[in-house]
A and B are shown apart, each in its own frame.
Chain A
Amino acid sequence: DTGVSQDPRHKITKRGQNVTFRCDPISEHNRLYWYRQTLGQGPEFLTYFQNEAQLEKSRLLSDRFSAERPKGSFSTLEIQRTEQGDSAMYLCASSYTGSLEAFFGQGTRLTVV
């Protein structure tokens, strides 16, 4: 499968725990995006990388959230001290410079109990 891959697909965690998600973009794509989608809503932009540089972060990305893309390939999104309001689907997408569209992964469903 050469699409965008996200791991894990589902994560249940207790409030206050830290969680980390991984995204592997399509191999030749240099741009990577994270979105968050709550139930019944469309996805909302969180952050964007071009290669290893994080070029934009949404105000939705509080200081409990951190994203990295250390070698310009895969990316991780970490949430510290999770809250119930963090329960959502976290979607990753990738594209390459000059492309008109981004390709999305299957998402990671986070449930904070």
Chain B
Amino acid sequence: KQEVTQIPAALSVPEGENLVLNCSFTDSAIYNLQWFRQDPGKGLTSLLLIQSSQREQTSGRLNASLDKSSGRSTLYIAASQPGDSATYLCAVRPPPPGGTSYGKLTFGQGTILTVHP
């Protein structure tokens, strides 16, 4: 059974710092990995998706890397801002049975990020 763990559980940093969030998964046979942002009481917003064949993806100040063989991913946030404060979730998708993945995700418990001015 796939298990996803995120470290740290919570992180508080001053504005402007670069930071790294970690995600590990027990079964390296994944189809892809996705990072989400969740604001308090709200749904999930997709940030980055990395296919199993890729090593990293970038979007603006965000960079996500994937080391599938070791079961790890990191989300790097450059020059953090108070507006980045949220819970960050990583999730993995299993490989497609019979050739079609239907997208069932296994999530970590999230990292609560607080960026203070």
Residues of A at under 8 Å CB distance from B? Answer: 4, 6, 31, 33, 35, 40-45, 48, 50, 55-56, 89, 91, 93, 95, 97-107, 109
A55 to chain B, nearest CB (A): 7
Pick from B46, B104, B108, B109: contact of A56, CB below 8 A. B104
Pick from A44, A55, A100: contact of B49, CB below 8 A. A100
Residues of A within 8 Å of B36, CB to CB, are: 104
Question: In the bound complex, do residue B51 and residue A100 qualify as a contact, i.e. CB atoms below 8 Å apart?
Answer: yes
Question: In the bound complex, do residue A106 and residue B43 qualify as a contact, i.e. CB atoms below 8 Å apart?
Answer: yes
20 contacts between A and B (CB under 8 A): A6-B43, A40-B110, A41-B109, A42-B4, A42-B110, A45-B104, A48-B102, A48-B103, A56-B102, A93-B103, A95-B103, A98-B100, A99-B103, A100-B49, A101-B103, A102-B103, A104-B43, A104-B46, A107-B43, A109-B41
Question: In the bound complex, do residue B106 and residue A101 qualify as a contact, i.e. CB atoms below 8 Å apart?
Answer: no
Residues of B within 8 Å of A33, CB to CB, are: 103-104
Residues of B at under 8 Å CB distance from A? Answer: 4, 32, 34, 36, 41-46, 49, 51, 89, 91, 100, 102-110
Interface centre among B43, B46, B105 (most CB of A within 10 A): B43
